[in-house]
Amino acid sequence: MEAVIEKECSALGGLFQTVIGDMKSSYPIWEDFITKAGKLQSQLRATVVAAAAFLDAFQKVADLATNSRGGTRDIGSALTRMCMRHRGIETKLKQFSMTFLDCLINPLQEQMEEWKRGVATLDKDHAKEYKRARQEIKKKSSDTLKLQKKAKKGRSDFQPQLDSAMQDVNDKYILLEETEKQALRKALIEERQRFCCFVAMLRPVVDEEISMLGEVTHLQTISDDLKALTSDPHKLPPASEQVIMDLKGSDY
Amino acid sequence: MEAVIEKECSALGGLFQTVIGDMKSSYPIWEDFITKAGKLQSQLRATVVAAAAFLDAFQKVADLATNSRGGTRDIGSALTRMCMRHRGIETKLKQFSMTFLDCLINPLQEQMEEWKRGVATLDKDHAKEYKRARQEIKKKSSDTLKLQKKAKKGRSDFQPQLDSAMQDVNDKYILLEETEKQALRKALIEERQRFCCFVAMLRPVVDEEISMLGEVTHLQTISDDLKALTSDPHKLPPASEQVIMDLKGSDY
């Protein structure tokens, strides 16, 4: 009985140590994630700036088409809509990059310190409880041994005391096993909470990303409009022919 | 009659000059567009590189969750799917940035030279034809004047010649007007073709951008999965409890 429990406790303790060890050795991976995320975030921020300047230039091209003497006003208007939609995407990209920093990168960096403290506490508490439980078992076992020696010498009046002491040792083992189970459960929950916490930080970023890509839907319509408007580049549209006609008798 | 046609020709010629002038003065706007597009494209390229490095780091975090002792395997698998979808987006972003350069920025740069040559030719041809037509009108007009003087002196035998000469002047004016109309039409078409050409270069870029949209739906599903999987971070999932149970009697 004791041998079986001893084996189980050892397995639980071993897994506890593995989980704690896994968590402790994972920091370089999390730190690398934070570093790479930070670099991507700076790139995104720089991209937002470049996109804003690009869209200013794009709008000027659209204005060229809009303000021309004839024939490209519709194209100019569609290009302006295209530009405005992209300003919407630019705004979403900016929000996405801010959320990336504010909801994931910075909080995760702070969280790391808490994780380190949490695991150290788990490890220390476990060691303390394990040591105490082991000492109690040792003491009870040595009590039992003494009583067994006395019982062997034929002193049968020690038998009830011996039975009780053996039961004590057994109880302590069951207690140790429960302690080990609880410690393991806590370690597994701690490990799991890390990923739950990570996912909770990640989701608003993905939400921003989804809403940014959602802006792209509107682009299709404008792209189709532009295709139709420019389908015959070698022919003047009626509006332009009208401009030529209107010059007759005008005071241009 | 001549006065009216003269006015119309002048209006047509004036608009022609305005359109040519607009096209000539638009180069700084196109050049600015190309510059800003180039800067945005470099940023996008750098973002693709940063995104690739970030996704490598992200995958390592996903692997942490997948390879943990219990309870986070499902989260790890969802994070891996999230990472793979983002690799898809990264690929699309790379294609988008290449299309931006290959289909818009570089061809537009080359096109600009052609535009400059085209407008110069239009302007030169128009000036030549206008000059010739004007000279012919001048010559015919002076013939008419001479005949008119002779006719005034009572030489009625010159009347048919005078009528024919006046008709000639009139015809030349109509020809000039037609020449001016054609030149204006050519200039308007040239201007319009620029924007048609621009739109033709822009559309594949927008298409690539839209194709990034295809990845959105998948992100939403994975984000929802992650939410469900991490909804109760303080409780171990059955799989982890099983891990603890399985230790009983194992040889861990």
pLDDT digits (tens, 9 = 90+) for B177-226: 998 999 998 999 999 999 999 999 999 999 999 988 777 778 888 999 99
Cβ neighbour number for residue A1 with a 10 Å cutoff: 9
Interatomic CA distance for residues B145 and B168, integer angstroms: 13
The three-point CA angle B63-B66-B72 to 5° equals: 130
Give the residue from chain A lying closest to B26, CA to CA: A64
Query: Closest approach of chain B CAs to the CA of A138, in angstroms?
Result: 23
- B-chain residues within 8 Å CB-CB of A174? none
Is residue B157 scored above 60 in pLDDT? yes
The proportion of chain B whose per-residue pLDDT surpasses 90, expressed as a percent, equals 54
First to last CA, chain A: 111
What is the SS3 assignment for B146?
A: helix
A72 in contact with B at a CB cutoff of 8 Å?
Answer: yes
A36 in contact with B at a CB cutoff of 8 Å?
Answer: yes
Instruction: Name residues whose C-beta falls within 8 Å of residue B128's C-beta, 6 or more positions apart in sequence.
Output: none
B174 in contact with A at a CB cutoff of 8 Å?
Answer: no
**How long is chain B?**
252
A197 in contact with B at a CB cutoff of 8 Å?
Answer: yes
Contact (Cβ atoms closer than 8 angstroms) between residue B54 and residue B47: no
B51 in contact with A at a CB cutoff of 8 Å?
Answer: yes
Please indicate whether residue B3 or residue B77 has the higher confidence score (pLDDT): B77
Q: Measure CB to CB from residue A192 to each of B22, B42, B72 and give the nearest one.
A: B72
pLDDT, mean of residues A108-119: 95
B181 in contact with A at a CB cutoff of 8 Å?
Answer: yes
Contact (Cβ atoms closer than 8 angstroms) between residue A201 and residue B58: no
Buried b / exposed e over A162-184, threshold 16 CB at 10 Å, is beebbebbbebbeebbebbbebb
Is residue A229 scored above 90 in pLDDT? no
Domains of chain B: 2-228 (1.20.1270.60)
* Cα atoms in the Cβ-side hemisphere of radius 13 Å centred on B130: 19
A38 in contact with B at a CB cutoff of 8 Å?
Answer: no
Strands (E), A128-184: none
Query: Closest approach of chain A CAs to the CA of B146, in angstroms?
Result: 30
Band (B252; pLDDT cuts 50, 70, 90): very low
Band (A250; pLDDT cuts 50, 70, 90): low
Interatomic CA distance for residues A175 and A183, integer angstroms: 12
Give the residue from chain A lying closest to B69, CA to CA: A19
pLDDT, mean of residues A34-43: 98
Q: Does the distance separating the beta carbons of A210 and B216 come in below 8 Å?
A: yes
**How long is chain A?**
252
Band (A134; pLDDT cuts 50, 70, 90): confident
- A-chain residues within 8 Å CB-CB of B36? 50, 53-54, 56-58
Give the residue from chain B lying closest to A249, CA to CA: B8
Is residue A71 scored above 80 in pLDDT? no
pLDDT averaged over chain A?
90
Q: Measure CB to CB from residue A188 to each of B39, B223, B236 and give the nearest one.
A: B236
CA B96 to chain centre: 15
Band (B69; pLDDT cuts 50, 70, 90): confident
CA nearest to B208, candidates B86, B48, B91, B36: B91
Contact (Cβ atoms closer than 8 angstroms) between residue B58 and residue B83: yes
Q: Measure CB to CB from residue A247 to each of B15, B198, B236 and give the nearest one.
A: B15
Residue B249: the pLDDT is 56
Is residue A145 scored above 90 in pLDDT? no
pLDDT digits (tens, 9 = 90+) for A167-211: 888 888 888 999 999 999 999 999 999 999 999 999 999 999 998
Q: Per mean pLDDT, which of A218-227, A241-250, B99-108 is the most reliable?
A: B99-108
- B-chain residues within 8 Å CB-CB of A195? 64-65, 72, 75-76, 79, 230
Interatomic CA distance for residues B139 and B133, integer angstroms: 10
Residue B56 corresponds to which tokens in the numbers above? 């490598």
Is residue A149 scored above 90 in pLDDT? no
Interatomic CA distance for residues A99 and A97, integer angstroms: 6
Question: Of chain A residues 220-239, which have a CB less than 8 A from chain B?
Answer: 220, 222-223, 226-227, 229-230, 233-237
- A-chain residues within 8 Å CB-CB of B15? 69, 243, 247, 252
Strands (E), chain A: none
B193 in contact with A at a CB cutoff of 8 Å?
Answer: yes
Residue B32: the pLDDT is 98
Band (A157; pLDDT cuts 50, 70, 90): confident
Residue A252: the pLDDT is 47
Q: Per mean pLDDT, which of A77-81, B147-151, B164-168 is the most reliable?
A: A77-81
Lowest mean pLDDT among A238-247, B51-60, B99-108: A238-247
pLDDT digits (tens, 9 = 90+) for B9-43: 888 999 999 999 999 999 999 999 999 999 999 99
pLDDT, mean of residues B125-130: 92
- A-chain residues within 8 Å CB-CB of B65? 195
A181 in contact with B at a CB cutoff of 8 Å?
Answer: yes
Query: Closest approach of chain B CAs to the CA of A18, in angstroms?
Result: 8
A84 in contact with B at a CB cutoff of 8 Å?
Answer: no
Give the residue from chain A lying closest to B211, CA to CA: A216
**Residue B70 main-chain phi, psi, to 5 deg:** 180, 150
Instruction: Name residues whose C-beta falls within 8 Å of residue A31's C-beta, 6 or more positions apart in sequence.
Output: A112
Contact (Cβ atoms closer than 8 angstroms) between residue A190 and residue A122: yes
